[in-house]
Structure 1
Amino acid sequence: MRVCIVGAGALGCTIGAALARGSLQGGGEPIEVWLVNRNRDHVDAITRRGLLVRLGDGPAATEHAVRLRAATSTRGIGPVDVVIVLVKSFATADAARQAEALIGPETVVLTLQNGLGNEQALASVLGAPRVLQGITYVGGQMIAPGHVSSGVAGKRTVIGEPDGQVTPRVRRIADAFGAAGLATEVTDDITGAVWDKLLVNVSTGALSALTRLTYGDLMADPGLERTACAAVQEGIDVAAALGVTLSVHEPQAIWRSAAEGLPADFKTSMLQSIESGRRTEIDVINGALVRGGERTGVPTPVNSTLVAAVRGLETGLRHAQ
């Protein structure tokens, strides 16, 4: 199986390393992995020495190098079996155009991005029949170019067809990924799974970006927990109004699940974006709940406040550059 990850930042590299290393050690289908990232230093470091992956934290942490292929564009890679899209949501349309160079007759395009609406953006360029949806609870954090901290152990990835069918192509991907050590499940309700993950992001992303706290410090603050759970409850109410079936209905359980299996010094994706001076995905996470609340008449004052605050933070960072 040939897999190309478009948008191979911290998370994409973590998933790519797990697939490449695991397929060599496991007994499943061999997986050839390509990572596409526009950062030349990042790609050069991976090409020169392999992708360095740190597992765990503190004195017990270990590191290993994973050999895989990396490039700054999709040109010259050729058709692949699976394109995994992991760019930030606002870059999805551009990623779809990049992915056109990777498409063969049987190629499928799998979004594992955060937030809502990414599958429609991909389908508008590549055609709906190619697009699969998914979510992942795997965590990744960039340490330096070609060097990531990985949070894979005990973290699920869930994939499915948008129409709920359990098809051979979805089974093949799940089986290959699972055999490589990336725990992957197939669902007949990917919409519910996407909303489950959305609420996890809602619980931690904006608050960590605003406070600059890692998971350990974030989870230790009772006041932040109350705010996070209030934001999640708004999301649960919006989901119910939209007819979305969730697997968890308790805000505290969603809050606690966000950091499970990750080191205390791990940072949310939104915090990593803020620290790098990049635009966040606030509009497709908390912002998606606000828009859903507007459509259904469900009040979302906590999420509206978080969206406004993060947008203000982004504006301040742009002015400081």
Structure 2
Amino acid sequence: MTKSRSENMNMPRIAIVGAGAMGSVYAGLFAEAGYQTSVVDLWQEHMTAIGKTGLHLEGASGDRVIGGITAVHQVADLGPIDLYVIATKANGVAGAAAEIAKVMQPDSLVLTIQNGLGAGERIAQYMPTDNVLLGVAEGFGASIKGPGHIHHNAMRQIRIGEMDGGMTDRLVWVESLWQAAGFKAAAFADIHQLVWEKFICNVMCSAPSVAFDCTIGELFNDEDRRIVALGCMLEAYEIGLAKKIAFSFDDAVAYGVKFAADMPNASPSMRLDHLARKRSEIDAINGMVPVLGREMGIKTPYNDTLVALVRAREASFA
């Protein structure tokens, strides 16, 4: 297996699998950069709108309609693809990987960008992970206004890395694709550090914001709520230390408090899912903490309690 990639590909073929809010933003900017861009999603109205009238994208990079995006319902409907970007929710990763595995070429790359942990392991159920990259989207809020219409709030950074670590030619090539499309993208030799640093913040904000039905600012402005949020985060941080994650900081509380202070008006996607009475990514975020805690012999009472609460609420959703 080689980890090299030609740098002379002027028209890369990119497929975004999962055209929700984030995936649609990726597709829009890739298409504007002149890449052969496709989106795959089961939402028929969204695919029809993009295919017929283009993608209406507004927010951080302006307000316009972007054409030239191929919109299909199944991965099997695509032609040859150089880079598949899995942008589904965590519970959609395995299904996307299963479909990609049936048609991908030997030198195709798969980049998966999700909240939480476990995306690489879900993909590994269906394909070797030699050609799989991991990504982290930081400070990148987006929302769906309607079929074919997406708003995005910010575009802080896309971080990517090899599952097994290290810097490779193909990783630098993928980094250059994102950068040329206008993203603040960076390749990292240790993507797992970055995945975990985002993970502990997601754990800190996600289930607590659901439990107290509040924004991140409201979560931290109340002392009782703040204790619960930091308790959830510190359980995840302790597990990360036990797993030898090389965090870039020593004071996890200060790191978490600063993260929260930077986005006081934000609602985590888990809370937005519950407001829409949709099942969330609880299993990949707070739900991973008790699982890993049991493996490592670390108690996780804060996350145990909030996971049970979130799952109980979701059991009532249609």
Give the TM interval when normalised to the shorter protein. Answer: 0.7 to 0.9
For 1:306 and 1:110, the matched residues in 2 are separated by: 31
Counterpart in the other structure of 2:151: 149
Counterpart in the other structure of 2:275: 275
**Change in CA separation of 1:151 and 1:310 when aligned onto 2, cut-off 3 Å:** same
For 1:110 and 1:295, the matched residues in 2 are separated by: 27
Q: Secondary structure at the match of 1:185?
A: strand
Give the count of matched residue pairs.
304
Q: CA deviation at 1:133?
A: 1.2
Counterpart in the other structure of 2:159: 158
| Structure 1 length-normalised TM | 0.86
Q: Secondary structure at the match of 1:283?
A: coil
> RCO greater where, 1 or 2, for CA within 8 Å and sep 6 or more?
1
Aligned counterparts, 1:245-260, within 5 A: 245-248=246-249, 249-257=251-259, 260=262
Q: CA deviation at 1:163?
A: 1.5
Counterpart in the other structure of 2:180: 179
1:19 to 8, 12, 30: 30
Matched, 1:34 2:38: yes
| Structure 2 length-normalised TM | 0.87
Q: CA deviation at 1:84?
A: 0.7
Q: CA deviation at 1:101?
A: 5.1
- For 1:193-224, what per-residue CA distance to the aligned partner results, in whole angstroms no more than 9, with x for missing partners? 11111112112221233344345544554443
- For 1:230-269, what per-residue CA distance to the aligned partner results, in whole angstroms no more than 9, with x for missing partners? 2111111111111111224423433442574x693x5422
Q: CA deviation at 1:20?
A: 2.5
Judge conservation of contact 1:228–1:255 (CA < 8 Å) in 2. no
Q: Which amino acid aligns with 1:254?
A: G
Matched, 1:43 2:47: yes
- For 1:67-94, what per-residue CA distance to the aligned partner results, in whole angstroms no more than 9, with x for missing partners? 2222222233111111111222222221
Q: CA deviation at 1:105?
A: 2.8
Q: Secondary structure at the match of 1:157?
A: strand
**Change in CA separation of 1:19 and 1:207 when aligned onto 2, cut-off 3 Å:** farther
Matched, 1:125 2:129: no
Judge conservation of contact 1:157–1:183 (CA < 8 Å) in 2. yes
Q: CA deviation at 1:166?
A: 0.8
Counterpart in the other structure of 2:306: 306
- For 1:110-157, what per-residue CA distance to the aligned partner results, in whole angstroms no more than 9, with x for missing partners? 11112211112212212111211111112221122222221333x111
Question: What do you get for the CA RMSD once the two structures are aligned?
Answer: 2.2
For 2:274 and 2:20, the matched residues in 1 are separated by: 15
For 1:142 and 1:163, the matched residues in 2 are separated by: 34
Q: CA deviation at 1:104?
A: 1.7
Q: CA deviation at 1:281?
A: 1.1
Q: CA deviation at 1:293?
A: 1.6
**Change in CA separation of 1:132 and 1:211 when aligned onto 2, cut-off 3 Å:** same
For 2:289 and 2:110, the matched residues in 1 are separated by: 26
**Change in CA separation of 1:210 and 1:102 when aligned onto 2, cut-off 3 Å:** farther
Q: Secondary structure at the match of 1:197?
A: helix
Q: CA deviation at 1:310?
A: 0.5
Judge conservation of contact 1:123–1:131 (CA < 8 Å) in 2. no
Q: CA deviation at 1:283?
A: 1.2
Counterpart in the other structure of 2:74: 73
Q: Secondary structure at the match of 1:135?
A: strand
Q: Which amino acid aligns with 2:24?
A: C
Q: CA deviation at 1:102?
A: 4.8
For 1:241 and 1:13, the matched residues in 2 are separated by: 37
Q: CA deviation at 1:159?
A: 0.9
Identity over aligned residues, as a percent?
A: 30
For 1:35 and 1:255, the matched residues in 2 are separated by: 37
Q: Secondary structure at the match of 2:81?
A: coil
Q: Secondary structure at the match of 1:126?
A: coil
For 1:40 and 1:238, the matched residues in 2 are separated by: 41
Matched, 1:198 2:206: no
Matched, 1:189 2:169: no
Deviates more, 1:98-107 or 1:227-236: 98-107
Judge conservation of contact 1:200–1:255 (CA < 8 Å) in 2. no
Q: Which amino acid aligns with 1:294?
A: R
Deviates more, 1:100-109 or 1:35-44: 100-109
Q: Which runs of 5+ in 2 are unaligned?
A: 1-11
- For 1:28-58, what per-residue CA distance to the aligned partner results, in whole angstroms no more than 9, with x for missing partners? xx422211110101111222322222315xx
Counterpart in the other structure of 1:286: 286
Select the structure that is richer in helix: 1
Q: Secondary structure at the match of 2:88?
A: coil
Q: Which amino acid aligns with 2:191?
A: I
For 1:8 and 1:70, the matched residues in 2 are separated by: 9
Q: Secondary structure at the match of 2:280?
A: coil
